[in-house]
Amino acid sequence: MTKFFIIMLHTFRYKVLSKSFIFSTLLTLFVVGGITNIDRIIAFVEEEKVDKIAVIAEEEVLYFELEEESTVYADDYTLEKIELTISQAEQEVIDGKWDGLLLLTLNEAGLPEANYRALTMADQGTAQQLEQALQLVKVARATEKLGIEEAQLHILHTPVSFNIEALSETAKTETELNTARFLVNILVVVIYFSVIAYGNMIALEVATEKSSRVMEILISSVHPVIQLFAKISGIALLGIVQFLLILVVGVASIRENIVSGGVVSDLLSVEEVPLSILFYAFIFFVLGYLFYATISAVLGSLVSRIEDVNQLITPLTLIIVVAFLISMFGLTSPDSTIVTIASYIPFFTPMVMFLRFGMLDLSIWEMILGISLLVISISVLGIIGARIYKGGVLLYGKTSSLKDIKQALALSKKNKPR
């Protein structure tokens, strides 16, 4: 075990002191803090601008009706009726006196129509708000023309009563489901990026040592299983350190956001996060990491040049992308057949099974089955992977395909560690 810890700590120390790790960690902490306080950042950076809109109305009463309906948007724009020709008003918009020009007319039925003109079409917000206000004016005029009373109009516009109730006593409430969906979404993304980042890191670590011929010395004195899982554990320790830092910053930012009533407080509708979700997030994160890290280390041992790592690891990355896409689909349809089947396929289990747990009321045997399949898969990969790793680190030359696995297995039989 001494050799195991020596290799693990060496891998950890080398990576944790690297500039790339320090920079990526600081950048991630900055992004996490920014996302959880995005509403404050926007409020600080953007000035509260109120657009000045010039209005040329065919009827003066039409302008006053629009102005009355626009009171709800008073913080976004102001209206002012002007007595100019259209060309003169357009010139004033070009000169910057006005942010926009609204032309109000009546059609043959006596209902309002509008033409909005601005310097560019980039800002659609004000135009949409003006359209909504004018729609209310149109409804009011049409109601009066048709002789519909206000009480009757209120009945027509009242939304239909439609309640959703779960028959299962253990089913999640709507509030719990919204919170679970938010947390699952975040944690699935974390698992996805972690698997890709740390998997590539392990493959590059193995390929780097192999290209320097250090591997030949190590493989002759350290059993390949010890060497393989020592490197995986070293990178795992690195990931734990990084995510503890991210967790501390994230939790602190989220708590502050909830206290101040920010955007996150609207998404996290319950006061406490379910501990079971965090527990299973940790379990599936660790198992998913071990599963993909083992494959990544084996693939890294097959290449002779660092430049070939990305080529060989691309199929694995695509599989992870597919797992992520299935998880995103599962956020809206967690009980669909494809999501259910995918949750029992080891390549997809870490993300998809965790998603199903967060969104559905899964029985305990389903969770045990999913975890057991992952543990068995990791064990099998560890046994087979160690043999491939043992021969792969001695395999040099151009790596073009996974056919090199056969050659690596043949070399492993000839190379017996002392």
pTM of the model: 0.64
DSSP state at residue 307: G
Query: What CATH number was assigned to the domain covering residues 51-154?
Result: 3.40.190.10
Distance, CA of 34 to CA of 354 (rounded, Å): 26
Query: Among positive and negative, which fits the CA dihedral 113, 118, 121, 126?
Result: negative
* CA-based end-to-end distance of the chain: 15
How many Cβ atoms from other residues are within 10 Å of residue 238's Cβ? Answer: 21
Dihedral in degrees, nearest 10, Cα atoms 242, 248, 252, 254: 60
Provide the pLDDT for residue 345.
92
239-to-8, 65, 190, 191, 227 alpha-carbon distances in Å = 13, 61, 11, 11, 19
Looking up tokens 């089913």, which residue turns up?
A: 171
Give me the average pLDDT of each 10-residue run along the chain (418 residues).
78 82 83 72 64 87 86 80 88 88 86 87 80 86 77 74 68 67 74 76 72 60 72 82 79 64 51 70 83 78 68 81 87 86 90 84 87 90 74 57 58 53
The residue behind tokens 């009321």 is 361
Which residues have C-beta within 8 Å of that of residue 335, sequence separation ≥ 6?
A: 356, 360
Which one-letter DSSP state was computed for residue 119?
A: S
Question: What is the domain partition of the chain in residue ranges?
Answer: 2-34+173-414, 51-154
Angle at 193 between CA 192 and CA 196, to 5 degrees: 90
DSSP element (H, E) containing 54: strand 51-57
